[in-house]
Amino acid sequence: MESWDNWFDGPGVTTDFMTEREQPPVQEREAF
């Protein structure tokens, strides 16, 4: 559980998710 807390508390986690969501699904298309 400690690792999960650190992951959520870690700075940049929310920003990473935001950037991923903001970016268009270009990588996904390439994967397909």
pTM of the model: 0.16
In angstroms, rounded to a whole number, what is the distance separating the alpha carbons of residues 24 and 31? 13
Tell me the C-alpha to C-alpha distance, in Å, between residue 19 and each of 1, 3, 9, 25, 28.
26, 23, 18, 12, 15
Query: φ, ψ for residue 30 (rounded to 5)?
Result: -60, -40
Query: HSE on the CB side for 7, CA within 13 Å?
Result: 5
> So what's the pLDDT on residue 10?
61
**pLDDT score recorded for residue 26:** 65
pLDDT tens track, the chain, 32 positions: 566 566 566 665 556 666 666 666 666 666 66
Q: State the pLDDT at residue 4.
A: 59
Q: How far is it, in rounded angstroms, from Cα 9 to Cα 28?
A: 28
